Amino acid sequence: MEGSPTLKFPASERPLGVLPAPAPGEVDRRIVRLEGISKRFGSQLVLDDVSLDFEEARTTVVMGPSGCGKSVTLKHIVGLLKPDAGEVFYDGRPLSALSERELAPVRLQVGLVFQMGALFDSLSVQDNIAFPLEEHTRLSRKERDHRVEEALATVDMAGSGHKLPAQLSGGQKKRIAIARALVLRPRVMLFDEPTTGLDPIRSDGINSLIRKLQREFSVTNIVVTHDLVSAQRVADRVVMLLGGKVAADGSWDQLAHSTDVRIQHFLTGTYERIDDENMPETTINPATEPKSKRRPTSQP
């Protein structure tokens, strides 16, 4: 796995689970914190007392079966959904204490690439990317054009500003959706299924781009994905959500060696909902399991 020179805790040394509060005098690098988040839709409890911290300039992959609350988790981080219980902190500030107006600068620092990409079909690539700048900034036309060029170059799509979304391949559309989130120069990027529907080569291009954002711009990436190859490629850390709870939190290798049958079923593509009913609701931390219980697994 690739490392970043800016990281404070290499994956091998970083404590698992919720990170400890920083020592006095130490900078708190937990840029996003979810503390005891619960979210219910009708009778369905989607998130059940979920606590997760995301360290600055790291890439965390969030995995779990369809409907387990991955997109819901991302929406809490940008304040699009409000928790029934618990608190989301951005850079130490509780989002619930912020008015819509105070939330605006936070949203500018957190770029969200939606699950479906969602470009405006009638706008050119240039105008799609410039859209957040027009909405949220008072930059001059010249500065806007410069930012759009910069974002296009970052996603390796320089020179395609005049095209319409219909003229782009699926992978190119994903890149433009990423450029549109990048144009505000965010500190945090949330990716919801960035490689879904792409062939392996184009998927790997997106994976490289995610790593590049971390490496070159110290972006904190939170990547929701079903794509096991992508997860393994980009993750410093993998979080698995199951049954509304954090079922595992650690490096890819730790996840792959987990003895939790639900995790093994997920990684081998045989997850069944019944697994939730058969397993205790405790958070399972692969790192703390005795070595003798671990069994090797084939990598996806």
User: Contact positions toward ligand ATP, by CB under 6 A?
Assistant: 41, 44, 46, 64, 66-72, 115
Q: How would DSSP label each residue in 61-92?
A: EEE-STTSSHHHHHHHHTTSS--SEEEEEETT
Q: What is the DSSP letter of 166?
A: G
72 binds, among Mg ion, ligand ATP, none (CB under 5 to 8 A by kind): ligand ATP
Least Å from the CB of residue 44 to ligand ATP: 6
67 binds, among ligand ATP, Mg ion, none (CB under 5 to 8 A by kind): ligand ATP
Q: Which one, 46 or 213, has the nearer CB to Mg ion?
A: 46
| Residue 123 CB burial class (10 angstroms; 0-12, 13-18, ≥19) | middle
Q: Which residues pair with 63 in a beta bridge?
A: 240
Lookup result for tokens 């005891």: 36
46 binds, among ligand ATP, Mg ion, none (CB under 5 to 8 A by kind): ligand ATP
120 binds, among Mg ion, ligand ATP, none (CB under 5 to 8 A by kind): none
Least Å from the CB of residue 136 to ligand ATP: 24
- The 10 Å Cβ neighbour count of residue 169 is 11
Hey, is 59 helix, strand or coil? strand
Least Å from the CB of residue 81 to ligand ATP: 7
Residues 6+ apart with CB under 8 A from 235: 1, 59, 60, 61, 223, 251, 252
Least Å from the CB of residue 110 to ligand ATP: 17
221 touches Mg ion (CB under 5 A): no
Least Å from the CB of residue 261 to Mg ion: 24
Task: Give the Cα-Cα-Cα angle 218, 221, 224 (nearest 5 degrees).
Answer: 170
Q: Which one, 78 or 151, has the nearer CB to ligand ATP?
A: 78
Q: What is the DSSP letter of 110?
A: E
95 binds, among ligand ATP, Mg ion, none (CB under 5 to 8 A by kind): none
Structure token pair of residue 235: 């993750």
94 binds, among Mg ion, ligand ATP, none (CB under 5 to 8 A by kind): none
Are 152 and 181 contacting, i.e. CB atoms less than 8 angstroms apart?
A: no
Q: Which one, 151 or 247, has the nearer CB to Mg ion?
A: 247
| Of the candidates 14, 54, 56, 58, the residue with the CA atom closest to the CA atom of residue 236 | 58
Structure token pair of residue 245: 């709870």
Least Å from the CB of residue 79 to Mg ion: 18
Least Å from the CB of residue 25 to ligand ATP: 38
Q: Which one, 30 or 70, has the nearer CB to ligand ATP?
A: 70
66 binds, among Mg ion, ligand ATP, none (CB under 5 to 8 A by kind): ligand ATP
* Residues 63 to 82 in contact with Mg ion, rule: CB under 5 A: 71
132 binds, among Mg ion, ligand ATP, none (CB under 5 to 8 A by kind): none
Q: Which residues pair with 223 in a beta bridge?
A: 61, 191
**d(C-alpha 196, C-alpha 251), whole Å:** 22
**d(C-alpha 236, C-alpha 296), whole Å:** 20
Least Å from the CB of residue 50 to ligand ATP: 12
172 touches Mg ion (CB under 5 A): no
| Of the candidates 149, 145, 170, the residue with the CA atom closest to the CA atom of residue 158 | 149
Number of chain positions touching Mg ion (CB under 5 A): 1
Q: Which one, 116 or 153, has the nearer CB to ligand ATP?
A: 116
**d(C-alpha 78, C-alpha 82), whole Å:** 9
* Positions in the binding site for Mg ion (CB under 5 A): 71
